[in-house]
């Protein structure tokens, strides 16, 4: 029997907010979400709990869940929202709404006060692709030429990272979660197994030129570190051979922009996401359907669309293959191994 259930039997006021939060996070972790999701739950719970503590004038561990009335939560969220973006407030609101749903189901509280807390509206942001028709080609050509001035240059890795983002449209977290054996299938018919938001798995086609770049990168990696790359190893690593992290990925891409001379063509704050938006924008311009793009990007709304529109794996591969960025990837890959399977 969990602490929530046990203490609820003694009375709602006996359960502290901090204990309840720990129980909630543990219950969510049992569902095996990504570590990023669990960390976000914990971060949002703690941040708002600090605001609740400010409203009540006591430490979070001294506050019982029965004290979390609508008025208290409304004031706490007003304080929380004062210094944060609407998207961050919305995420925290959703987390606390789920938290109270958990407490109600466990009998720790009698109702969910979040119904009385205004849910922020977040305007849908516009796509932020790289500006300029030739920018993706210019970026890839420069990175492949080894223009990035680094203490320990590794152009094979750099071009593999940038090209992979441009021709698959993966999110930063999805790129970082890739393993060597995420690349599956027969030569010429490769595809990536991608674990997206909500642990949803999708398969993204990888054409022969991108496959050649990845092979060249993995070969250079084995030569660089003198170890055989295993299937369970992270696909993308830093210059020390450790799994590439979010900050490292952002820095790498930012430096590639700078040394390719396209830094002024990147919307402020976009960085890696600019490559994803470029992927989607080019697919749309080149005739891919909305459903194909949604599937390739891993948008959650595709789930409802599946009931109405069926897209075959062949159609998805064809949609990915018409991406114009593959033109320069073919040239770059051709230089890396001397020949590319078409």
List of domains in the chain:
3-116 (1.10.150.130), 135-337 (1.10.443.10)
337 has a pLDDT exceeding 70: no
Q: How confident is the model at residue 334 (pLDDT cuts 50, 70, 90)?
A: confident
Can you tell me the mean pLDDT for 265-281?
Answer: 87
Can you tell me the mean pLDDT for 12-21?
Answer: 80
3-state secondary structure (DSSP) of residue 2: coil
Let me know: does 89 contact 57? Beta carbons within 8 Å. no
Q: What is the dihedral sign for C-alpha 258, 263, 267, 269?
A: positive
Q: How confident is the model at residue 207 (pLDDT cuts 50, 70, 90)?
A: very high
Prediction pTM value:
0.63
What ranges make up the beta strands (E) of the chain?
183-184, 191-195, 201-205
pLDDT per residue over 135-191, tens digit each?
A: 999 999 999 988 666 678 899 999 999 999 999 999 999 999 999 999 999 888 899
pLDDT, residue 152, reads 80
Torsion of CA 26, 32, 36, 42, to 10 degrees: -10
3-state secondary structure (DSSP) of residue 201: strand
Distance CA 183, CA 178 (A): 9
The larger pLDDT score, comparing residue 98 to residue 306, is at 98
H or E stretch covering 304: helix 302-305
pLDDT, residue 315, reads 53
CA distances 230 to 101, 184, 235, 258, 301, Å, are 43, 14, 10, 33, 35
Q: What are phi and psi of 268, to 5 degrees?
A: -55, 130
């Amino acid at each position: 029997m969990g602490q929530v259930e046990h203490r609820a039997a003694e009375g709602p006021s006996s359960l502290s907010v901090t204990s309840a939060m720990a129980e909630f996070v543990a219950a969510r972790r049992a569902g095996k979400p990504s570590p990023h999701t669990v960390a976000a739950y914990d971060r949002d719970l703690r941040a708002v709990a600090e605001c609740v503590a400010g409203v009540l004038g006591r430490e979070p561990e001294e506050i019982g869940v029965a004290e979390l009335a609508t008025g208290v939560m409304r004031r706490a969220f007003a304080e929380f929202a004062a210094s944060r973006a609407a998207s961050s407030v919305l995420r925290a609101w959703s987390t606390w709404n789920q938290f109270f749903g958990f407490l109600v189901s466990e009998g720790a509280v009698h109702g969910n006060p979040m119904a009385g807390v205004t849910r922020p509206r977040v305007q849908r942001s516009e796509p932020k692709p790289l500006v300029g028709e030739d920018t993706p080609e210019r970026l890839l050509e420069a990175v492949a030429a080894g223009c990035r001035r680094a203490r320990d240059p590794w152009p094979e890795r750099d071009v593999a990272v940038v090209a992979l983002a441009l021709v698959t449209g993966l999110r930063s977290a999805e790129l970082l979660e890739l393993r060597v054996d995420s690349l599956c299938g027969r030569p010429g018919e490769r595809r990536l197994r991608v674990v997206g938001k909500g642990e949803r798995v999708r398969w993204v086609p990888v054409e022969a030129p991108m496959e050649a770049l990845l092979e060249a990168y993995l070969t250079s990696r084995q030569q660089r570190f003198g170890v055989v790359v295993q299937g369970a190893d992270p696909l993308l690593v830093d210059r020390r051979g450790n799994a590439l992290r979010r900050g490292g990925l952002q820095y790498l891409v930012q430096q590639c922009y700078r040394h390719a001379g396209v830094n002024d063509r990147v919307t402020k704050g976009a960085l890696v996401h600019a490559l994803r938006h470029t992927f989607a924008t080019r697919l749309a311009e080149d005739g891919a359907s909305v459903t194909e793009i949604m599937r390739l990007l891993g948008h959650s709304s595709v789930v409802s669309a599946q009931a109405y529109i069926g897209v075959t794996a062949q159609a998805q591969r064809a949609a990915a293959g018409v991406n114009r960025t593959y033109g320069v990837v073919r040239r770059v890959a051709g230089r890396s191994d001397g020949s590319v399977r078409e």
